[in-house]
Amino acid sequence: MIRPLSIRLRLSLWFFLIFAVAMFTLSATCLWMVHRCILTIETTELQQRVRSIQRFLEAQPPDEPIGTLRENMVSTYDVTHGSKWLQVIGQDGDWIYRSKAITELYPHLALPSAVPADGTYFEFSAESVPVWALIKPITVKGRSYTVQTGTSLNSKLIVYNDFRRQLMILTPTVLLIALLGGWWMSRQALNPVAAIELEARHINDKSLNWRLPVLETRDELANLTQTLNQMLDRIEAGYKSVREFTANAAHELRSPISLVRAEAEVALAFPRTADQYKEVCERIQAESVRMSTLIDNLLSLARADAKADVLQFEALDPNKLVKELGGKWTMLMEQHGISFEGEPDAAGVSVFGDLPSLRRLLTILLDNACKYTPAGGHVVLRTHLKDDAVVFSVSDTGIGIAAEALPSVFKRFYRATNSSPIAPGGAGLGLALAEALAERHGTTIQVQSTQLQGSCFSFSLPRYAAIHNVKKIVQREAV
């Protein structure tokens, strides 16, 4: 299989090819222009000779006999044109003048009536000398004549051929310089790419903190380097997140599994009463429930990250959702000594969302509020209108969140440390899952909290009437 050419070689060849085409085009154009210039000069010279003959004939008396006219012309033009190509014939076929150089080559000459008025230009060879000639009719004092004259192209063609030889030497030389120059320029242009490639070879899963050298050229390669470094930042952050997630998941699963194993081993070590076995089974069941909840949350996060769940967006009544959850959580809150209140204040409007996902999102926020609010506290689930959106909020009078912990509350497996006697269980996945569900609805969860005073988690959804926002959510979900 033929190995593909390198970019450097391809750039050099393309540069050489384009330069070669341009050079050959320029050379051919120059040769054509020089040749045309030579013919133009010689054509002008021939026209001047014809005008000279015409002026000579005009200077002769009108009744001058042909013989006398011939003698006068011979005495005048033999000196200057005897060795050149010139002959003149009258309308009656009488020769007025014939130079020796052209007599043998052209023994006959067309009469004026048979020659085009603008004349005829042509080229012939006389004793290996190229000659540019003109045959043209003229009229003087009512009489017509045909003039044939020619001029040698020998000296001009020598200059032309010399110019052509110089071009034939110069063109390959310039093309060779262009090839070498193209190779050098492509090498200079691709040197930064080679440096980037060298650095990139050192980057692997154990050195994701390495970055490509930032070029100071302020060109496309510099932009590419910055983009690649930004991509490496995201890869490193994602890889770190996966490692932390895996380590935390293993740790969270290891504890309940170890506890279940220990309880079972101790229970089997020696005989126990029925009540003791029941107590062990209850502890094992509790740990099993915890593991099931953890695994369920892990699967939900994985499916949310992969967008494996197809959400069924539809128009929903936010007040109805609040009342539904309020009826469920009122009793649960009372069991913990917490007063609960649902405040649906978005009558007559709808939101666009997936009912199971929104129900789970609010359930996570309410469960969090219940866990971190001591007995005697208060929790409120509220909806209200704000501009073209419906705001859902869950506020409590619990232990609150420290200001330095607020940026991390949505990180997976994160659990803030505090001095409160309340230490609820959990793996720290609830808020991460809630944030993932909110993102699939095109929104984010906002947190306001003061330590020892309470917290408020809120998010907003566009009203169903805001069609352009709805389309954006659907398009984002489809990606």
The 10s digit of each residue's pLDDT in 32-65 is 999 899 889 999 999 999 999 999 999 988 888 8
Please list the residue range(s) of the chain that carry CATH number 3.30.565.10: 314-478
Q: Which residues contact 189 (CB under 8 A, 6 or more apart)?
A: 11
Q: What strands lie across the sheet with 389-396, from one edge to the other?
A: 339-345, 378-386, 389-396, 454-462, 446-450
Nearest to 432 by CA among 449, 416, 414: 414
Q: Which residues contact 462 (CB under 8 A, 6 or more apart)?
A: 351, 352, 388, 389, 390, 442, 469, 470, 473
What's the confidence (pLDDT) of residue 248?
Answer: 64
What's the confidence (pLDDT) of residue 468?
Answer: 45
Q: Tell me: domain 220-305, CATH 3.50.50.60, correct?
A: no
Q: Tell me: domain 7-160, CATH 3.30.450, correct?
A: yes
What's the confidence (pLDDT) of residue 476?
Answer: 52
What's the confidence (pLDDT) of residue 324?
Answer: 92
At 288, give phi and psi (nearest 5°). Answer: -65, -40
What's the confidence (pLDDT) of residue 467?
Answer: 43
CA–CA separation, 306 and 312 (whole Å): 16
Q: Are the C-beta atoms of 358 and 297 separated by less than 8 Å?
A: no
Name the stretches of the chain with pLDDT < 70.
1-2, 79-83, 244-245, 248-249, 251-252, 255, 301, 304-308, 416-427, 465-479
Q: Tell me: domain 314-478, CATH 3.30.565.10, correct?
A: yes
What element of type H or E holds 123? strand 120-126
Sign of CA pseudo-dihedral 326, 327, 328, 329? positive
Q: What's the one-letter identity of residue 9?
A: L
What's the confidence (pLDDT) of residue 420?
Answer: 52
In this prediction the pTM is: 0.50
Please list the residue range(s) of the chain that carry CATH number 3.30.450: 7-160
Please list the residue range(s) of the chain that carry CATH number 1.10.287.130: 220-305
Q: Which residues contact 405 (CB under 8 A, 6 or more apart)?
A: 416
Q: What's the one-letter identity of residue 309?
A: D
